[in-house]
A and B are shown apart, each in its own frame.
Chain A
């Protein structure tokens, strides 16, 4: 019950008691007055009749007695008038039958009016003739009391309603800031450190508001500072100062993240662009102009890649690179031609006399992206071929023809496996720090051949993504996992499951997954849905909606493979993940690289303020664990602890 409702109830009750009291006092007073009036009326009439009857000297003439009584009796105010002689005989006794009035019976029972009677002696001279007995008729009094009571109730009820309306309005005005404060408190509970713009007039509330605003403000400021620091560290480590693009390390980190996002990426291309004779050009025009030329090329690359390539950067010296994913052949050709045309124009302007030129080599993969080094050497090979063709040439090569050719076969195999539900679930524990207690269990899926041999996810996931089967696959995995959990796997920790960006982009699959959660409400609390940073960034709005939907059903949402892309912190703010899993690259670099440690420390601070956990993954070496603990990372996962085990 809200405070407002409680107050209104209390005020209403108070008013009600008060008004009921007023009504009761009014009715009792009116009744007493009426009773007194009836009594005196009866007495007056008895006295008047006695004086009039005394003039008869004798009550033997009954007709005369009745004639005297009639005018008084016929006025209708009396229930009974009797004239009794001294020997106790009723000379005249007139009784008015009580007429059914319009007063309800319960009212006459609730407030009975005792109709008082009166008597008066009749004396003629010294001789007593008898007495007159008069009893009042309470009907008129009841009617008067009833109508007065009804009117009073109507009036009081109107006053009551008016008072309640006024109270409600007054309380609404008074408590409006309180609602605002409550909303802010709930937002802060969800780590949204907003402030309250409204300043209540009540001093107590004003203090609460200013204290909350102050606290929110401080935390927000701390977060902004820390975000700024993280951004600065990110730039220092991963951004090339000359062009503002990714440097080699940044490019490598991002590309590796993409390679790991197997459920999101099903094809890709890596391009290397090499500027020839740049050393001579630099020596001839000076480093300043050389840097200007590099920056121009960088700007041209960024412009050509905008919205088409996933990652681009300067690899050092006069080498540029860009990578596109999930891209068709024609689109890729368009992108490569665009970049080459821009480079050609700039190089012609800057240094025709210095024989500046470019060679562009592209390797294109269908299906899973290979390891970074393999991709790079394939791209290098393509550059070599371009160079052989002469200046300002490009060459696009397929990375592995066999894979592309087997694509249709893969499709059939995956579809068959989906139909037969030939998939196995494996789980690997993530451990919390400090203490190394199991924090959650990450579930991975493997396809089974018809012989029951497991095929690793890296092989079939990109194919499933490419052929639009990943949404179906995710549904099957969620279903199998819920089945497993419902079969009394009570002791197991929370299960984390990967959802592809293709799945949440499919309304049918999203509905199906949320429907599965609705059907197993008690199990929802034991699920964490993980999306890769790349996938969530790619489908920002849908990811936000999906995270809200699963949270509403009691499940949690987390980000996997977090490489700190540009705008990643905004993504974190929008999605409020339960935890973040740093991409494998961080685990490898933490021990070697101080700036990487600084960056992670900064991320940990931000995450803690937002109540978000940070996990390291691919921890292959026990010796890294003390360092993770020192950085106050929430937990880790990797082969150092245990290998994935089959659960279903």
Chain B
């Protein structure tokens, strides 16, 4: 009986999935307040201001130069953003922040001039979002690197949901497709897309994807940055 009813429901309903805009403007270069820049300067020294201003002007230029067909334009953006952030020196969280695992906001990574794998992925994610790339195409991916034999995180770009994604990794300069990255084993993916999920009564409920504690911490930190 139970099997029958559930089979019926699964066959009959085709769910309309709508990605809602996640918390707007959080983590964008244009959301940085003068107070935040001053604060970062005090925290990390004179170079911080230049690097943060550099990020802002990079996003400005990338937006201005962006023309042409969408897939090609997005590919150019991916390369630019990947190149921009990969210039930040890589450091372990323990050496950089004094804790085992620390997820930094883009302004923290740039100002402190040091990042770990998830910090690159986060900074690239927010910058691409700011540049107009739909987040439904972006995934943060927990993966295992067979080369370094450690837990790793990369940003994946899916031109369409079933496609072979492009991998933005801090360990190598060029962007390659997932099929070319035999050194990475993906385990779990997420983004901060919100779903409008249809309910029985015709209404919809907003389902958050920000399930990860660390991710939530990053969003909280970004909220606080707005008030500095």
Contacts and interface: CB of A to CB of B under 8 A. Distances in A.
A118 interface: yes
A90 B162 contact: no
A36 B45 CA distance: 40
A133 B158 contact: no
A95 interface: yes
Contacts of B16: 88
Interface in B161-196: 161-162, 164-165, 178-179, 186, 188-191, 195
Nearest to A43: B211
Nearest to B177: A126
Contact of A66 (B7, B17, B178): B7
B19 to A, nearest CB: 11
B46 interface: no
B209 interface: yes
Interface string A55-97: 0000000100010001000000000001010111111111100
Given A117-B205, A128-B158, A135 B197 contact: yes
B99 interface: no
B211 A120 contact: yes
B189 A128 contact: yes
A121 B17 contact: no
Contacts of B189: 121, 123, 128
Contact of A117 (B139, B178, B207): B207
B17 A94 contact: no
Interface in A93-136: 93-95, 116-121, 123, 125-128, 131, 133, 135
A90 B211 contact: no
**By CB atoms of chain B within 10 A, which of A92, A116, A123 has the most?**
A123
Interface string A501-540: 0000000000000000000000000000000000000000
A126 B10 contact: no
Contact of A88 (B3, B15, B162, B207): B15
A92 B186 contact: no
A128 B165 CA distance: 9
Interface size class of B (residues with CB under 8 A): 35 or more
A185 interface: no
A124 to B, nearest CB: 9
B208 to A, nearest CB: 7
Given A66-B10, A119-B195, A121-B139, A86 B188 contact: no
Given A84-B17, A88-B16, A126 B200 contact: no
A93 B10 contact: yes
Contact of A89 (B7, B14, B209): B14
B99 to A, nearest CB: 23
A121 B136 CA distance: 11
Interface size class of A (residues with CB under 8 A): 20 to 34
A51 interface: yes
A126 to B, nearest CB: 4
B203 interface: no
B9 interface: yes
Interface string A128-156: 10010101000000000000000000000
A197 B72 CA distance: 106
A47 interface: yes
A115 B186 CA distance: 31
Nearest to A124: B186
B162 A62 contact: no
Contacts of A128: 139, 158, 161-162, 189
B10 A95 contact: no
B13 interface: yes
A325 interface: no
Q: Is the interface of B mostly helix, strand, loop or mixed?
A: mixed
B156 interface: yes
Contacts of B139: 121, 123, 128
Nearest to B191: A121
B10 A92 contact: yes
Given A66-B10, A86-B162, A117-B205, A133 B200 contact: no
A135 B199 CA distance: 10
Contacts of A94: 6, 9-10
Interface in B117-157: 139, 141, 156
Interface in B1-25: 2-3, 6-7, 9-11, 13-17
Given A84-B15, A128-B158, A95 B9 contact: yes
Contacts of B9: 93-95
A46 interface: yes
Nearest to B211: A43
Nearest to A123: B189
A642 to B, nearest CB: 98
A118 B164 contact: no
Contact of B190 (A84, A120, A126, A135): A120
B10 A90 contact: yes
**By CB atoms of chain A within 10 A, which of B17, B164, B195, B209 has the most?**
B17
Contacts of B6: 66, 70, 92, 94
Interface string A25-66: 000000000000000000100110011000000000010001
B156 A126 contact: yes
A87 B161 CA distance: 8
Given A126-B164, A126-B178, A90 B14 contact: yes
Nearest to B16: A88
Interface string A188-215: 0000000000000000000000000000
Nearest to A130: B161
A117 B206 CA distance: 8
19 contacts: A43-B211, A66-B7, A66-B10, A86-B161, A86-B162, A88-B16, A89-B15, A91-B10, A92-B10, A93-B10, A94-B6, A94-B10, A116-B208, A117-B207, A119-B195, A120-B190, A123-B189, A126-B165, A126-B178
- 5 tightest Cβ-Cβ pairs between the two chains A and B: A126-B178, A86-B161, A92-B10, A90-B15, A117-B207
Interface of B: 2-3, 6-7, 9-11, 13-17, 139, 141, 156, 158, 161-162, 164-165, 178-179, 186, 188-191, 195, 197, 200, 205, 207-209, 211
Given A89-B15, A119-B211, A126-B186, 11 more contacts: A62-B10, A70-B2, A84-B15, A86-B161, A87-B161, A116-B208, A118-B211, A119-B197, A120-B190, A123-B141, A133-B197
